[in-house]
Amino acid sequence: MPVHINIISGLLDNIFTLLNSPVIFLIIIFLICILIGFVAALAGVGGGVLFTPIMMAFTTINPDIVRATGLAIATMSSLMSARPYLGRGIANFNLALFSSLPYTIFAIIGSFIGLHITAVMGSFGKALIRFALGVLVLFIVILMITKGRRTEYPIPPEGKYDKLANAFELNSSYYEISLGRIVEYRIVNTVWGLLCFVGIGLVSGMFGLGAGWAIVPVYNLIMYVPLKVATATSLVVIGIGDTAAMWVYINSGAMIPIFAVPCLLGCMIGAQVGSRLMPKLRAYVIRWFVILAMLLASARLIQQALPVIMGVV
């Protein structure tokens, strides 16, 4: 055999040996998470929404570990972002507490359901989770594409008042810097909002996703909360609810620190860099790259799951 063939073969063997090393694997995951956090900040989506489907679609890491880490990423990014909004009075604290009760309870229930499916149903359960997540990611993409329907300062129908909103003092105001004045707003449809939070909590806990993609439209389109307040308040709700749901995975042994820590650090670093560069870059272009990546992840998840599901059914 020629010498150069032996050299190339030996080089390839060394590369594969390095890739199989746990240290190299964690470094690669760390770098991928920096990219995920960076892109998530530019596109205006949570890191967990990208992390969970991408990791489940393109790696062989146990789905329970991926979902537990996804919830940790969503919690950490939300808590970091929510603090300044609370300090400036943009986030509606009463509304966050009001929404957090159904969200947290059903996020915990969703976590138990997700773990039960993978534990009891084996490979079929994992395929079922992958298929459902693929369909859900496709739905999120549709929401992202139709994002323009949201309104900055929605006004409820004249004469429509909500007794629950008045009783829990949810109506509020905040100082809008861009307008140079105080914006007052009135919240309606609280019952419909609570029902939506039941479903959002289940989805977040079951799949290990942050839920800003769902909470913000519910606040803005259904409950008539100003868009900036809806975004800020959703971060507080996620920080409360996903923390509780995450403990279910921790107690089951699905949270692996040696894997979770590099992922968390990577997403935090990427998000910090992305948020600083966002004013200089065309974020809408990045957003379409995110949509394309999520479509690919969705297609891959469904493609992985269908043969197993069809084989059992």
HEC string for 186-234: CCCCHHHHHHHHHHHHHHHHHHCCCCHHHHHHHHHHHCCCCHHHHHHHH
User: Residue 1 domain-assigned?
Assistant: no
User: Residue 12 domain-assigned?
Assistant: no
Q: What is the mean pLDDT of residues 39-55?
A: 77
Which range has the worst mean pLDDT, 118-122, 165-169, 244-248? 118-122
Enter the pTM of the model.
Answer: 0.82
User: Residue 118 domain-assigned?
Assistant: yes
User: Residue 242 domain-assigned?
Assistant: yes
Banded model confidence at residue 95, pLDDT cuts 50, 70, 90: very high
CA dist 123 to 64, 127, 310, Å?
13, 6, 12
Banded model confidence at residue 118, pLDDT cuts 50, 70, 90: confident
Q: What is the mean pLDDT of residues 266-283?
A: 74
Over 60: is that where the pLDDT of 66 sits?
yes
User: Residue 275 domain-assigned?
Assistant: yes
Number of domains in the chain: 1
User: Residue 29 domain-assigned?
Assistant: yes
User: Residue 92 domain-assigned?
Assistant: yes
Of 7, 3, 265, 242, the C-alpha closest to 104 is 242
* Side chain identity at residue 112, one-letter code: F
* Top-confidence residue, 50 or 284: 50
pLDDT, tens only, 2-26 = 544 444 454 444 444 545 677 788 8
Q: What is the mean pLDDT of the chain?
A: 83
In whole angstroms, what is the distance from residue 104 CA to residue 201 CA? 6
In whole angstroms, what is the distance from residue 218 CA to residue 2 CA? 66
Full DSSP string of the chain = --HHHHHHHHHHHHHHHHHTSHHHHHHHHHHHHHHHHHHHHHHT--HHHHHHHHHHHH--S-HHHHHHHHHHHHHHHHHHHHHHHHHTT-S-HHHHHHHHHHHHHHHHHHHHHHHHHHHHHHHHHHHHHHHHHHHHHHHHHHHHHTGGG--SS--PPTT---HHHHHTT--EEEEETTTTEEEEE----HHHHHHHHHHHHHHHHHHT---HHHHHHIIIIIS---HHHHHHHHHHHHHHHHHHHHHHHHHTT---HHHHHHHHHHHHHHHHHHHHHGGGS-HHHHHHHHHHHHHHHHHHHHHHHHHHHHHH-
User: Residue 2 domain-assigned?
Assistant: no
Q: Which domain holds residue 103?
A: 21-310
